[in-house]
Amino acid sequence: MARPSANRAAVASLVSRKSRANNAIVQGMNARLNGVVVGTAATAALAIALFLGSHPTRVGARASASPIGPVDESAMAAEPPGRSPQLPQAAPTVTPEPLASLADRVERLGSLDTPLDAFAAFGLLARCVRAREFDTYLKSLPMERELDAQRSAYGDGQPALRQACSDLSTAQLVERIGLVEKAARGGIPGAASAWIEQGPFGDKSALEQRPDDPLVADWVQQAIAWVKSAAKRDDIEAIAQFGMLSLNWELGDTERVKVLVHAATQRDLEVQMQRLARGDAPRTEAGAGTHAN
């Protein structure tokens, strides 16, 4: 007859093996479910894109007539796309020295002549642009007691602007549009959305002030075409933008694209205001978007 201690040991071993087996099964099911959810979402987005693509009057009849240009699929990032309308997920080709100035880092990244490094350079420049936008926004708000905490945390804004802009030149800030366009043409996830969120040629106000300008009208059609193209490549940012375009199908093309630009700007301003309300130091995410728009 087996001793009680031996029985207990056998039972404990059996329970342990069963527990490990259950964990393995649960993990396998979770992996499969996640794959199904992601695949379903991508498939649904693609189906919607294809459906609307057959109805040019909803998405813009001239979208296919003025495409941005072919996308280099071989240059696309290997990792899945994600929100960052900001820095790319993979590291730049060359990591700048820690002591290099911001302007030097941007110049070096831009000189590497790859879509990924172009997007990294754009992220540094866009961070400065958003810092300036927030500075103007906060200082334009009415003097209300509800904003005392934010104003106190922000101060005169000079530390935040110095951190974000440092020695960047105006010429470099203008060059960000060409850098993000290069990244988008190279298929970098999030780059197409970030290009759109900058507004026509970097001027967001053009959608409001010059909607009938032929250059602005062409840019709008290019923006819509680029959203559709990037969404078909499962670019998460573009899929979100395509959803917004579809939800506002009853508006004109310019108005729908204006919604994308305005939403990205407001999202970034609200995030920064929330940080100030918590007492955090002002900070802008590099990149739209988003990027962090």
Q: What pLDDT digit, counting tens, does each position of 193-212 carry?
A: 999 999 999 999 999 999 99
What CA–CA distance (Å, rounded) separates 259 from 182?
24
Q: Output the CA–CA distances (angstroms, integers) from residue 40 to 35, 36, 48, in the order listed.
A: 8, 6, 12
Query: Is the pLDDT score of 109 beyond 60?
Result: yes
Query: Is the pLDDT score of 192 beyond 50?
Result: yes
- Domain extent listing, the chain: 1-54, 63-277
Q: What is the per-residue pLDDT for 278?
A: 81
What CA–CA distance (Å, rounded) separates 218 from 202?
14
Query: Is the pLDDT score of 40 beyond 50?
Result: no
Instruction: Report, as an integer, the average pLDDT of 214-237.
Output: 95
Q: What is the per-residue pLDDT for 90?
A: 54
Q: How far apart, in Å, do the first and last CA atoms of the chain sit?
A: 73
What CA–CA distance (Å, rounded) separates 63 from 80?
27
Which stretches within the chain are classed as H helix? 4-53, 56-59, 102-111, 115-140, 148-154, 158-165, 170-185, 191-197, 206-209, 214-232, 236-247, 253-277
Query: Is the pLDDT score of 86 beyond 70?
Result: no
Instruction: Report, as an integer, the average pLDDT of 278-285.
Output: 62
Q: With the CA atoms of 34, 197, 100 and 94 taken in that order, what torsion angle do they form, in degrees rounded to the nearest 10? A: 50
Q: What is the per-residue pLDDT for 149?
A: 82
What CA–CA distance (Å, rounded) separates 68 from 184?
10
User: Which of 62, 55, 89 is CA-nearest to residue 237?
Assistant: 89
Averaged pLDDT of the chain: 75
Q: What is the per-residue pLDDT for 284?
A: 52
Q: What is the per-residue pLDDT for 93?
A: 60
What CA–CA distance (Å, rounded) separates 106 from 49?
36
Confidence of residue 281 (pLDDT cuts 50, 70, 90): low
Polymer length in residues for the chain: 293
User: Which of 190, 252, 179 is CA-nearest to residue 226?
Assistant: 190
What CA–CA distance (Å, rounded) separates 31 from 17?
21
Instruction: Report, as an integer, the average pLDDT of 236-251.
Output: 94
Query: Is the pLDDT score of 102 beyond 80?
Result: yes
More confident residue, 32 or 257: 257
Instruction: Report, as an integer, the average pLDDT of 144-163.
Output: 88
- ∠ CA(233), CA(255), CA(267), 5° rounding? 70
What CA–CA distance (Å, rounded) separates 274 from 280?
9
Residue 286 has φ and ψ, to the nearest 5°, of -70, 135
Confidence of residue 148 (pLDDT cuts 50, 70, 90): confident
Query: Is the pLDDT score of 247 beyond 70?
Result: yes
Instruction: Report, as an integer, the average pLDDT of 34-58.
Output: 42
* Each residue's pLDDT tens digit, 113-127: 899 999 999 999 999
Say which amino acid occupies 118.
A
Q: What is the per-residue pLDDT for 275?
A: 85
